[in-house]
Chain A
Amino acid sequence: ETGVTQTPRHLVMGMTNKKSLKCEQHLGHNAMYWYKQSAKKPLELMFVYSLEERVENNSVPSRFSPECPNSSHLFLHLHTLQPEDSALYLCASSQTGESSYEQYFGPGTRLTVT
């Protein structure tokens, strides 16, 4: 778990709050990802950053706003969330090049929206 860290591990927020999730990778990778995992659903890819540029945005509502200031750090800014946004939010990193490499996940942030 120390390769990719996430904070906080648990978060409870109201629908009018603003909060941020933080992810840091210590693996020297050049790509970072945000996933959402809801109960009994497959992992949903939200955002992909490669070389600090956003290369994927899978129709995620604007109440989720990612930020990647450098190749080691990734943030997910949250505002005016809905109860259905309650889920496990996972950060992952990988090294990409001519072919895809393995993704390594952080421990996740368990988010509850009240």
Chain B
Amino acid sequence: QKEVEQNSGPLSVPEGAIASLNCTYSDRGSQSFFWYRQYSGKSPELIMSIYSNGDKEDGRFTAQLNKASQYVSLLIRDSQPSDSATYLCAVSNFNKFYFGSGTKLNVKP
């Protein structure tokens, strides 16, 4: 079983729609949860971090965490073509850091 599971996609959404990205993890001791965006040929860029159950909003992005279900999600409102990228879910337990394989998002104009 992989430490972090993500649907590889691609997830295609029209411009202006809400994109919903999901992630499950296996380590119940995980304490920190992150979403990274990676454009093709570039390095991952941190866009959201969340540490407690519930929702955390930052601009058009909302991260949701449910530790009981071992589930993390990222919602992107008013999706733009510039949001087209691979989104990596990362989970941390102190110095142990695990990344998912990423979900490729395509936002169509």
Contacts and interface: CB of A to CB of B under 8 A. Distances in A.
A74 interface: no
Contact of A99 (B31, B43, B45, B90): B31
A104 B31 CA distance: 18
Contacts of B45: 105
A31 to B, nearest CB: 7
B32 A101 contact: yes
Contact of B99 (A40, A42, A104): A42
B92 interface: yes
Interface in A2-59: 31, 33, 40-43, 45, 48, 50, 55-56
A90 interface: yes
A80 interface: no
A33 B99 CA distance: 13
Contact of B94 (A41, A100, A105): A100
A33 B98 CA distance: 12
Contacts of A56: 95-96
Contacts, number: 55
Contacts of A43: 44, 88, 99
Contacts of B90: 103
Interface of A: 1, 31, 33, 40-43, 45, 48, 50, 55-56, 88, 90, 96, 99-108
Interface residues of B, number: 25
Interface of B is mostly: strand
A96 B95 contact: yes
B80 interface: no
Interface of B: 2, 4, 31-32, 34, 42-46, 49, 51, 88, 90, 92-102
B43 A105 contact: yes
A100 B43 contact: no
Q: State the 10 A-B residue pairs at the shortest beta-carbon distance, nearest first.
A: A100-B92, A43-B99, A105-B43, A100-B32, A42-B101, A108-B43, A42-B99, A105-B44, A102-B46, A102-B49
Contacts of B92: 100
A10 B46 CA distance: 23
A60 to B, nearest CB: 15
